[in-house]
Amino acid sequence: MESGRNTKQKQLILSILKDAELPMSINEIYAKVVDQLPKIAKSTIYRNIDALLSQNLIDKYHLNDNEVFYRIKSDRNEHKHFVICDDCKKVFDLPSCPIHEIESTMEEEGFLIKKHQIQISGICKECIGKSKNKY
Ligand SMILES: [Zn+2]
Ligand SMILES: [Zn+2]
C-alpha cells in the first residue's frame, strides 16, 4: 500500500529528526534513512519532507550559505532560529526572536507577514579557542 509505506517513511524521518534535536541537512537525514531503508531514493525523502513541512510538523531553515536544514517542531506553534558556526558547522539556538516586534509594526501598517527567516553565521567559542591566530 503506497500510503502506508509513505506513513512509515515519514515516521522514520520524524524519529530521526527527533533524535537529532538540532537541524539536519538533507544529506544527514538521507544517510540515516538509508541505514534502515537501503532502497529509498533521495527524491522520496524530499517528497516526505515536503509533506511533513505542509503538515507543520517540521521546520525548514536556511543556514550555512543557504544550505537547507530541517528540524522537528515540539509543537506546531514553536518558533525558533539558529546560528551556525562556519568552521565546525555546529548549530546553536538563537536565544529569542527579534522579528515579532517588527512584524507587529508592519501588520499595523496593513502588511500581512506569512513567515520570516533569520540567517546568522559566525565562529563559535570552541573554534575561536582552537585557532586564536585565525580570527
Ligand atoms: Zn565551531
Ligand atoms: Zn522569528
Strand, coil or helix: 77: coil
When pLDDT is cut at 50, 70 and 90, the band that residue 27 belongs to is very high
Per-residue DSSP letter, 127: H
| pLDDT score, position 9 | 92
Ligand approaching nearest to the C-alpha of 135: 1
| pLDDT score, position 1 | 43
CA of 96 to the centre of ligand 2 (A): 8
When pLDDT is cut at 50, 70 and 90, the band that residue 77 belongs to is confident
Half-sphere exposure of 1 toward its Cβ, with a 13 Å CA cutoff? 4
CA of 65 to the centre of ligand 2 (A): 18
Evaluate if pTM is beyond 0.75: no
Whether the per-residue pLDDT at 109 is higher than 50: the answer is: yes
Q: How far apart are CA 93 and CA 17, in angstroms?
A: 16
What is the set of domains in the chain, with CATH numbers? Answer: 1-72 (1.10.10.10), 79-135 (3.30.1490.190)
| pLDDT score, position 3 | 56
